[in-house]
Structure 1
């Protein structure tokens, strides 16, 4: 278990982490979401003793990370896949980690098998690795001590779709066996698929937390019928706001059972009726963090601006 209590980190007048508290439980994957500069990485660095907090505390199990004997056998950490010695081979890096932790050398080959790096790739210099290969090596390094807690910052960065699916399966199995996983990512869809609980942070504060079901409970319903025009009229008469969806149907601000009753009364055959997800997670994320976003939707008042950009 990871317990964060009233954690604050200041750099002069800038507050990077502002009175943050949460718990990551065994057997669950906790997704840590937030825009760039929201405080995710700083929080993770404090967790593993790389950055001292201004105030507050983090306990890994029942003690701070720095007080854990041989901590990598208890906590696997991946904060930056690129921060590996580029002149060493992947095999050399894992062998050094195994020696440092005092684990059997056989764990090295086991880890390469686990993360699907071939013997040829294991013997390449890390400078010749793709970012996806570095991520796999970093995950192997985090797991080699057989820890019961994982703290991973953007582990899917650089992985192709097959690699993301592999990582998702790996972490799901790890949690199912009782492990604790804290996973930071900007890939909202991946968090929606894998995470059991979600933390959303903005400007150093937790702005939302809970299970996916709790956070998406107000995200409405996805509904599609054989007569969307009739369905739109019926929803409007019932006072239910509905937004058309490009592939057909609507996202409606009502519970699925309420929409189902309306369709039944109007004898409108439905082909899809479910709680909204995916796009709704992105919408929820943007709404909760809108005050912390750097980006705004660009507008062009003069068409000549676009013409100049295209020429």
Structure 2
């Protein structure tokens, strides 16, 4: 279990993390989401003892990281896949980790196999690895001590689509066995597919947290986009239920959940060719909640126009 309480980290006049509190429970994957510079990495660095907090606490299984004996057996960490000794081979890096943690050398081969690094790749120096291979090696090192907790910062960087799918399955399986996973990313879609709970951070502050259903409740009234073989008849049927309907491209935008649109279509024997949520999903909510941290101008407004 990870517990963060009133965590603040200040650098001179700049506050990187501002009174952040949350918990990550065993058996669950928690997504830690935010734009670049939002405070994700700083929070994780405090968790694992690399950065001292200005105020507040971050504990793992009730202890500060520096108080955990043989911490690699309790918490696996991957904060920067490129921060590995470039002159050593992948096997050497895992071997040194195993020796430090008092693990049998057989564990090295198990981890290489788990992350699909071949024997020839394991003999190559890390400076010759692609970013995706470095990520796989970093994940192998994080899992080497069979820890109860995983803290991973942007582990999907550099992985191809097959690698990202593999990582999702690996982390989900780890949580299903009772492990605690904190996964930082700005890839909302990928985190949405795996996370049981999500924490959104912007400008160092938590702006929302909860499961997808809870978060989407913040997004306002539901909307549905629908196209049918008789849009006029469907519009009349929906308006007869006091549901607002407006034209949208080849179909309709309806102010209700998709299930109600589908139910109405069945009642009136109207064939649907397209039915989907009209809200922007988690991505749209994320952009709304972190709008004041975005670097990109909104080109849809005069103030966002490019001169």
Using the size of structure 1 for normalisation, the TM-score is 0.88
In the alignment, the residues of structure 2 paired with residue 223 and residue 71 of structure 1 have an alpha-carbon distance, to the nearest angstrom, of 51
In the alignment, the residues of structure 1 paired with residue 66 and residue 245 of structure 2 have an alpha-carbon distance, to the nearest angstrom, of 53
Contact (CA 8 Å) 1:34, 1:201: kept in 2 or not?
yes
- Give 1:285's aligned residue: 286
In the alignment, the residues of structure 2 paired with residue 243 and residue 288 of structure 1 have an alpha-carbon distance, to the nearest angstrom, of 28
1:290–1:56 Cα change, 3 Å? same
- Give 1:260's aligned residue: 262
Instruction: Report the RMSD for the aligned CA atoms in angstroms.
Output: 2.5
Contact (CA 8 Å) 1:225, 1:268: kept in 2 or not?
no
- Give 2:152's aligned residue: 152
In the alignment, the residues of structure 2 paired with residue 284 and residue 167 of structure 1 have an alpha-carbon distance, to the nearest angstrom, of 25
Segments of 5+ residues of structure 2 without an aligned counterpart are: none
1:286–1:70 Cα change, 3 Å? same
Matched, 1:215 2:215: yes
Shift of 1:133: 0.2
Q: Name the SS for the 1:157 alignment partner.
A: coil
- Give 2:244's aligned residue: 240
In the alignment, the residues of structure 2 paired with residue 39 and residue 228 of structure 1 have an alpha-carbon distance, to the nearest angstrom, of 50
Q: Name the SS for the 1:110 alignment partner.
A: helix
In the alignment, the residues of structure 2 paired with residue 300 and residue 223 of structure 1 have an alpha-carbon distance, to the nearest angstrom, of 25
Q: Name the SS for the 2:178 alignment partner.
A: coil
In the alignment, the residues of structure 2 paired with residue 240 and residue 221 of structure 1 have an alpha-carbon distance, to the nearest angstrom, of 10
Contact (CA 8 Å) 1:222, 1:272: kept in 2 or not?
no
In the alignment, the residues of structure 2 paired with residue 235 and residue 119 of structure 1 have an alpha-carbon distance, to the nearest angstrom, of 62
Q: Name the SS for the 1:216 alignment partner.
A: helix
How many residues were matched structurally? 300
Once structures 1 and 2 are overlaid, which stretch shifts more, 68-77 or 258-267? 258-267
- Give 1:297's aligned residue: 298
Contact (CA 8 Å) 1:150, 1:181: kept in 2 or not?
yes
